[in-house]
């Protein structure tokens, strides 16, 4: 699989950063961008990985992993039962912190057998969609708050060959995405304010229930991101969520050399969620 990864190049002049442009860990590159006017052609297209169902899926966030061992960490959490691998991309503009970009995604893609779930906490989103799709993202999620044309953004994500997700900050009501449910594959409900550390879980159960009713029988996942652990998994699953993103709650106590705690943590979160999930 590593032979499919395109070598990094420099950003074209038209994508140089400005004072208000996102800084995606200085690792966006034109190698992942489609030619102007040409359709995106993702390197990794795995529709079999994204067969829809509402079973509980645990998606560890590698933001809590050992940055020096990303590849091995991804392999370890999958071996220990992770369903998806969640990648939080932050630009220092839409949110205060900076994490990583498409080059990192391309580097870890060969180490991920399942779904790579990329959460873009960046503004703007559209110039970077092709880069993340070609780096191997199976799901690309953009924030409804990150731009005025979210409908077009979701269409562009699908056009790039990825599943399209839309995220809602805690202060944004469910109604903000009601008109998007026919062009979305996932709705991510933030249960902390993105980009700020040390926060407590914010109960969004009412919002989740509202979304679940809006979605109806559409094949749209509800993902929860922020403060998910054994104490909160049951309430969000009961409200209707099926994808649970967990960072420190998964990686706590383990390491690449001692991955067993990862499995114990994943199983505990899953058991808490499935205990009430129907």
* CATH code: domain of residue 192: 3.20.20.70
Mean pLDDT confidence for 54-60: 97
Mean pLDDT confidence for 77-93: 98
Range of the domain at 237: 57-274
What is the torsional sign of CA 121, 230, 64, 2?
negative
pLDDT tens per residue across span 10-48: 434 433 333 444 455 544 444 444 444 444 444 555 545
The catalytic residues are 88, 225
pLDDT tens per residue across span 117-142: 999 999 999 999 999 999 999 999 99
Closest CA to 28 of 120, 160, 166: 120
In a domain, 267, yes or no: yes
**pLDDT of residue 1 exceeding 80:** no
In a domain, 20, yes or no: no
**pLDDT of residue 52 exceeding 60:** yes
- Residue 246's φ and ψ, nearest 5 degrees, are -140, 135
Q: Of 11-15, 53-57, 190-194, 204-208, where does mean pLDDT reach its minimum? A: 11-15
In a domain, 50, yes or no: no
What is the b/e burial string over 57-80, where b = at least 16 CB atoms within 10 angstroms of the residue's CB?
bbbbbbbbbeeeebebbbbbbbeb
In a domain, 16, yes or no: no
* Number of domains making up the chain: 1
In a domain, 224, yes or no: yes
Stated pTM of the model: 0.84
In a domain, 13, yes or no: no
């Amino acid at each position: 699989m590593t032979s499919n990864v395109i070598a990094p190049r420099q950003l074209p002049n038209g994508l140089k950063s400005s004072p208000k442009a996102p800084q995606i860990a200085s690792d966006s590159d034109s190698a992942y961008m489609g030619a102007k006017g040409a359709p995106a052609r993702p390197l990794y297209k795995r529709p079999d990985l994204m067969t829809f169902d509402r079973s509980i899926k645990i998606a560890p966030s590698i933001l809590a992993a050992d940055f020096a061992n990303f590849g091995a960490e991804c392999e370890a959490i999958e071996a220990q039962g992770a369903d998806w691998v969640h990648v939080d991309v932050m630009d220092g503009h839409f949110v205060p912190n900076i994490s990583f970009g498409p080059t990192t995604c391309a580097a870890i893609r060969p180490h991920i057998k399942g779904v790579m779930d990329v959460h873009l906490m960046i503004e703007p989103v559209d110039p970077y969609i092709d880069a993340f799709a070609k780096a191997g993202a199976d799901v690309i999620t953009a924030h409804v708050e990150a731009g005025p044309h979210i409908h077009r953004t979701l269409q562009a994500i699908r056009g790039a060959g990825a599943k399209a997700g839309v995220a809602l900050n805690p202060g944004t009501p469910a109604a903000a995405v009601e008109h998007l449910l026919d062009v979305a594959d996932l709705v991510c409900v933030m249960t902390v304010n993105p980009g700020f550390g040390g926060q407590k879980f914010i109960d969004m159960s009412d919002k989740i229930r509202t979304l679940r009713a809006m979605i109806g029988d559409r094949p749209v996942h509800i993902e929860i991101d922020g403060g998910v652990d054994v104490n909160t998994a049951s309430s969000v699953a009961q409200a209707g969520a099926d994808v649970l993103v967990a960072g420190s709650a998964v990686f706590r106590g383990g390491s690449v050399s001692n991955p067993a705690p990862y499995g114990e943590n994943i199983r505990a979160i899953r058991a808490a969620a499935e205990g009430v999930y129907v």
